[in-house]
Amino acid sequence: MNRIARTERASTKRRTWYWVWRFVFAAIILGFLATLLIRATVVDLYRIESVSMQPTLNPGQSIMVDRRAYQDSEPQRSDVVVFDGRGSFLPYERQSVGDSISRALRLSGAQSTYVKRVIAVAGDTLECCDSSGRLLLNGEPLDEPYLMAGDDPSLIEFEVEVPAGRIWVMGDHRSQSEDSRSLLGASGGGMISLERVEGRVQEIIWPMDERSAVR
């Protein structure tokens, strides 16, 4: 009888652990799927790797991006946005079905994802520069308090009109930024399709002592 009782207790223990591990595994899977869903539709996190947006964003910082920001509106001048550069910043790179799935799962995309500031939107005329070296937006000098100290607004002369469905973007550290100015002769003229904009940068979340809203 003791042997039978011990066997039954062992069997019950095994069944208990089986259900515990099933629960833990299911919880992990559900947590992973919930994280993917949130990152794909609500907010996402990115790490800054370049100096092109200094002093607003610095290498090593992590930023939170609101992916819902443009569901019912379009990017506005001065917004800091994250976008997929394929077809504009990477004019000859196209997205395959595999790429779409991989980006949806947040498994790739870092090499084609950029963060820049919106300088001009559809219908705007932008040119460089007036006699004081400032950009002219629709004929008026553009005030740019976010520029890196010591940088000129642009050393590349240009004049563009932004078409419908596009935006013109530039880095805040102009002397170290490859942006819409660098792609004037490429497909799309360096202007970003609204369909490629993934969200608006809301705040710096890491390091904690540098946490602040992005403007």
Mean pLDDT of 52-56: 97
Mean pLDDT of 205-213: 94
Q: Is the pLDDT of residue 109 over 50?
A: no
pLDDT classification of 189: cutoffs 50, 70, 90: confident
50, 57 contact by CB (below 8 A):
no
Mean pLDDT of 45-70: 94
Mean pLDDT of 57-62: 96
CA distance 127 to 155: 11
Both 16 and 104 in one domain: the answer is no
Both 155 and 89 in one domain: the answer is yes
Of the chain, the percentage scoring pLDDT greater than 70 comes to: 70
**Domain containing 70: what range?**
44-213
The dihedrals phi and psi of 91, each to the nearest 5 degrees, come to -65, -25
pLDDT tens, residue by residue, 63-83: 999 999 998 899 999 999 999
pLDDT at 76: 97
Both 27 and 48 in one domain: the answer is no
CA distance 33 to 36: 5
Q: Which residues contact 194 (CB under 8 A, 6 or more apart)?
A: 70, 74, 75, 165, 166, 167
pLDDT at 101: 42
Q: Which residue's structure tokens are 């991006």?
A: 65
Both 36 and 138 in one domain: the answer is no
pLDDT tens, residue by residue, 4-26: 554 555 555 556 666 666 666 66
132, 90 contact by CB (below 8 A):
no
Mean pLDDT of 52-62: 96
pLDDT tens, residue by residue, 169-178: 999 999 999 9
Both 15 and 63 in one domain: the answer is no
pLDDT at 88: 76
As for how many domains the chain has, the answer is 2
Which pTM does this prediction carry?
0.77
The dihedrals phi and psi of 199, each to the nearest 5 degrees, come to 165, 175
Q: Backbone dihedral region of 87: left (phi > 0), alpha (psi from -120 to 50 degrees) or beta?
A: left
CA distance 82 to 205: 16
C-alpha separations of 107 from 51, 59, 148 in Å: 24, 21, 33
Catalytic residues, which ones? 52, 116
